[in-house]
């Protein structure tokens, strides 16, 4: 195992290992997505959240949106079925 090659890590406390794990996760994700992209995504989400807070009535929940889509699908399907 990799852990066996790093006795310094084995000597860490549980809390220190958890902090290391968090740092490694952040490092891996930064490499996977790119720091610039992550910053752009974070900025986009912060802007959208600020827009929501400023005017929550202008937004639709995912559940409401999916319900409207299902309703539209049923209406289209019903319109295609000839009545007897």
Q: What is the pLDDT of residues 27-66, one digit of tens each?
A: 887 766 666 677 888 899 999 999 999 999 999 888 999 9
Q: How far from 22 is each of 36, 80, 81, CA to CA, in Å?
A: 20, 54, 56
Q: Is the pLDDT of residue 84 over 60?
A: no
Specify the number of domains making up the chain. Answer: 1
Q: Dihedral of CA 4/10/15/16: which sign?
A: negative
Residues 9/17, Cβ–Cβ less than 8 Å: yes
> The domain containing residue 17 runs over which residues?
3-80
């Amino acid at each position: 195992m990799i852990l066996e090659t790093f006795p310094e890590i084995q000597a860490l406390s549980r809390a220190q290992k958890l902090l290391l794990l968090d740092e490694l996760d952040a490092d891996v994700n930064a490499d996977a997505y790119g720091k610039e992209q992550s910053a752009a995504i974070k900025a986009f989400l912060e802007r959208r959240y600020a827009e929501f807070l400023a005017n929550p009535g202008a937004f639709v929940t995912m559940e409401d949106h999916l319900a409207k889509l299902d309703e539209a699908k049923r209406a289209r399907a019903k319109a295609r079925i000839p009545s007897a």
